[in-house]
Every structure is written in C-alpha cells, then in structure tokens.
Structure 1
Amino acid sequence: MSTFRLRNRPRGGRWPVVPAWLGVLLLVAGAALMGGAGPGHRMGLVPLGTAFDLLRLGAYLAVAAAALGLLALVIATLCRRLRPALAGLLVILAVAGMMAVPWQMMQRAQRVPPIHDITTDTHNPPEFVTLAPAREAAPNAVGYTPSFASQQRRAYPSIQPLVLEQPLARVLSAAEDAAREMGWEIAALTDTTLEATATTRWFGFKDDVVIRLTETDTGVRVDVRSASRIGRSDLGTNAARIVAYMDRLEGRLDGG
C-alpha cells in the first residue's frame, strides 16, 4: 500500500504549488493597492503622498508575484505539473498587464517636456480669473511660466489657435457645450471667456482650463490654456486635452 501511494504522489510534491499560490496572493494584494491608490486619494481617504506610497508598494508586490510565478513555472515544468505551471504563467501575464500602464507613463514622461501649462497663445496666454484663488492654493503657479513656451513649441507644434468664421455668440455657445461634453466643471462664463476644471479619472487631479474668444477680421479666434494644479510634468495630458477640445468644438460648429 505504501508503495502504491508513493507512486501516485504528484511529482515534486508541494514545491510547484506553494510558489504558485503565493504568487497569486501577492498578485491580488498588489492589484488592490495599485488599483485603490488613485480612488482612495480622489475620495479623500488618503493624502497624495500616502497614495503614491501605496502605488509603489503595490508595484513591488506585483514584481514579487511575477518572480514567484516564474519560479512556479520553472519547477512545475521540470516536474511536468500542468496546473501549477499554468498558474505561474497566468500570474506572470497578469503582472505584465498591470505594469503596462505605469511603463507607458514612464516612457511618455521621457518623450514630453517636464511642463504642466499648455496654451495656444504663448505670447499672451489666456488668464485665470475666477479660478485664480483655487490655483493660488495649489503648488503650481497661477501665471504662465515664460520658459514653457519654447519647450511647448518644440514638443507640441500643432497646438495653435483656432479661427472660426462664425458669429461670436454661436462660437461661445458651442464652446460651452463642448466643454460640458468633455465633462468639465464650468466655473465662469462671460461674453468672451470660459473657465472650467477638468478632473482626472484615476487620482482626481484638478486641471484648469480657460478659453478666450477674440473677434478678428477673419472670424472668431479661439485660444485655450490648460494647466495642472500639481505636478511638474503633465505627461502630455494638457496638450491632448486642448487638441481633443478643439476637435470637438469644430465638430459641433460644422455639424450645426
């Protein structure tokens, strides 16, 4: 009977199973920390520094999970154990998926300049008025930093004013509608300006936008400025926001 049990014992015993399950547990913990760091800060449960610490800890746990998954895969392959090998492989693939977004952000940070204030008019940027107090309470400056201009022109040459052959009132109405469609919170609206705040989905960061309309001989010139309240680099977010807004505004007026 003892010989029969010995022969039917899985090869490698628990060695392939233990690292696989430990990898799964670390994967779940890492995913919870990385996924919950942003929402926790956005809902006011943890300060920003703590949220970044949780994000960093989650990344460390994910890397450890991948190492255990690789260990389980190697041992299970040598022992010809299909299920532990599959579990180890799935852990590795899951960690790769989790780390894809942070990796892309790191790559993007290396490609774009370390600036956080983008405008279609670098010589005379639209000014924040209603949102000025909120920006004064934040780390980043209220006024435009002149040194950003040359960096912006090199990195985002397509960020230019938009001239529309439409009545001012119609452009203003379309500008407000486009801003609301973008999900921005309107802070102020005058005959020629609009101020709004855009909130990022994950961490809930506040970026402020001001739109200025100017009547010219060829139509209405639209200038947009988008600036983050915190952070040295916006990873290209503000430039992408301006491009998306201009496209939406043009689409509304063309469609009308």
Structure 2
Amino acid sequence: MSDTTNKGGWRLTVAGAALGVSIFTVLWFAAAALGSKFGLWGWQFGLGKMILSWGPILTFFALGLAVVAFIIALIKAPRFQPALLALAALLIALMVFFRIAGFGAQAGSLPPIHDVQTDWSEPIALSESLIAQRRSDGALNEVQDDPTIDESAEGRWPGMGGRRVAEVQEEAERERTVDGETVEPAYDRPIEPVYFDQSPGEIASYALQIAEDRGWDIFSRPETGQDVERTMLEATETSTWFGFKDDVAIRIRAVEGATRVDMRSISRVGLSDLGMNARRVSTFMDELESRADGRRQP
C-alpha cells in the first residue's frame, strides 16, 4: 500500500510514536509527584530519581524523536497528518523541556535554605507538640534557633555550606555588590514583621481566617480575646503535587503600643525550598497587612 493511500504510512507511525512518547513524558512527571504524595514511593525516589535523574533523559529522548518525526513528515506528500502529529509531539516535549530548564535555573538562583522567618534575632520557637508531630511524620529538617546550611550544599552552591541561614536570607532579600558587580535580590521583597493598631486578639482572628482560607491544616489555634497580649498560630501546608509539608508559626504580641506579627515557615524535608517558604511568608503578611490596615514600621 502506498504512502498516499494510507495517509502517511510509516511516517505517520513514527509521528504517532513521537506523540505517544511526549504524552508519556508528561504522565511520567505527574506520576513521580503523585506517587510520592500518596505513598507509593518515597519523595527521594520520586523527586531524586524519577524527575531529577531519569526525567531529563526521557525529555531529551521525546524531544529528539519529535524533531526526527517532524523532519521526515515533511519529506514528501501526504504531509498533513504526519506533520500535525509530529508538531503536537514537539510542542509537548518543548513544554516539558522548558519547564525543566526553568526549574534548574530557579534552583540555582535561590539560596539553599528551607527555613525563613521575619526576625532571626528573636526566632519563633515551634511548640513541643508540633515538633513531636514533625518527628513522628519523619521530618528530616531540625528546627533550630540559629541553623546553618548543610555542608552538602557545596556541590551545587559553592561557598554556602556551613553559613548561617539568617545571613543568607538577609542577602537574598536585598540588592548587594559582589566583586564590583550588582547582584539582584533572590526574593521579591524583604521578609519582615508587620505592625497593627488593633489588639493581638483581633489580629489573631484575621490571621486565622487567612490561614483557613488558604486551606492550611491548623495545628494550634490562637487566642482571640480582647485581653490577649500574646498568642501564636501554628499550621501546616501540604503541597499539591508531592505532598510536601511545610510548617508555619505566626507570633502575635503587643510591643510598644502596637501589635507586632512575626512569621516563620519551615520545610520538613529538602535542602532548598525553591523560595516557597519566602513566598508563603511574603504573601501571607501582605494579605494580613491589607485586611487589617497594617504597616511595616512600629
């Protein structure tokens, strides 16, 4: 049977195979994340092996096969169906490729920390109950008052191993000069406390509502009475894909005629959080400031 009568022959078969591989690549990454979330395998296997080790190999194979399929689809008529399938395969493979490239660039541009808070000079202490919960759930990252970056970070982030997290966070928040060159801040804005005129109990009500609106699991609820001078909210956010759990502690207290809110966000596993904890603190504090008419100065 000719290429014309079977609408593409072997070229259509190659294009279909390329499309199948590209779709399989997308499903591979989804399976790696969801399998980790639902306990089919550990996150080290899902993220470390399936995505970081095998994922790029599969993506390059899908991309290469799609390019080959598209080229041979244009060799002779009929071209429409083989070229259409090959183009779809190429677009899907490119989408995955650029997502991986963006992930790598993001990981390299952000500091290897997983613990962020608004005031390292007076760190927020998680309750013993939450710390015990972290341990029972297999958390690998310890909660410390003055943590340092693990020496294993040296491989990907030279010069970071052993440095204080507080110093690295401060550098990530502000523009600085290194060897005569200006380095843009890694974070969008400084991680800082917010002040309010309302009582700590009133602000605690706002904070609790925002946490509930975001779907966080509330671990310890704050006191919300008018006479409350100091209280704390603790919660856990679980990521959509891998099911990673990050713990949040929000300290609300009366300080020099105002109510000051500080916040800490710390991952249970992983060396780098890819900026997630910083974004969580920034967006939460922005929303709290907006809802309760807060300010960044006492």
Alignment equivalent of 1:35, drawn from 12, 30, 35: 30
> Percent identity of the aligned residues?
34
Instruction: Kindly provide the CA deviation profile for residues 101-140 of structure 1, in whole angstroms up to 9, marking residues without a partner as x.
Output: 3322211111111000000001111011131113344111
Q: Is it true that 1:160 corresponds to 2:160 in the alignment?
A: no
Q: Which moved more, 1:49-58 or 1:224-233?
A: 49-58
Following superposition, the deviation at residue 254 of structure 1 comes to 3.6
Q: Is the 8 A contact 2:2 2:9 kept in 1?
A: no
Q: Map of 1:198-237 to 2, 5 A cutoff?
A: 198-237=237-276
Following superposition, the deviation at residue 234 of structure 1 comes to 0.4
Structure 1: gaps (5+ residues): none
* Letter matched to residue 221 of structure 2: L
Q: Is the 8 A contact 1:118 1:227 kept in 2?
A: yes
User: What is the RMSD computed on CA atoms of the aligned residues?
Assistant: 2.2
Q: Is the 8 A contact 1:31 1:58 kept in 2?
A: no
Corresponding position of 2:168: 151
Report the structure, 1 or 2, having the larger helix content.
1
Following superposition, the deviation at residue 91 of structure 1 comes to 0.6
Structure 2: gaps (5+ residues): 149-163, 175-189, 224-230
Q: CA distance change for structure 1 residues 246 and 8 in 2, over 3 Å: closer, same or farther?
A: closer
Instruction: Kindly provide the CA deviation profile for residues 36-92 of structure 1, in whole angstroms up to 9, marking residues without a partner as x.
Output: 221121112222233233335454333212211111111121224222122111111
TM score, norm. by length of structure 2: 0.77
Instruction: Kindly provide the CA deviation profile for residues 224-248 of structure 1, in whole angstroms up to 9, marking residues without a partner as x.
Output: 0000010000000000000111122
Q: Which has the larger Rg? A: 1
Alpha-carbon distance in 1 for matches of 2:133, 2:61 = 41
Q: Is it true that 1:117 corresponds to 2:115 in the alignment?
A: yes
Alpha-carbon distance in 1 for matches of 2:218, 2:3 = 73
Q: Which moved more, 1:165-174 or 1:72-81?
A: 72-81
TM score, norm. by length of structure 1: 0.89
SS at match of 2:21: helix
Alpha-carbon distance in 1 for matches of 2:101, 2:194 = 34
Q: Is the 8 A contact 2:208 2:222 kept in 1?
A: no
Q: CA distance change for structure 1 residues 8 and 77 in 2, over 3 Å: closer, same or farther?
A: closer
Corresponding position of 2:50: 54
Alpha-carbon distance in 2 for matches of 1:7, 1:199 = 53
Displacement over 4 Å in runs of 4+: 5-11
Corresponding position of 2:182: none
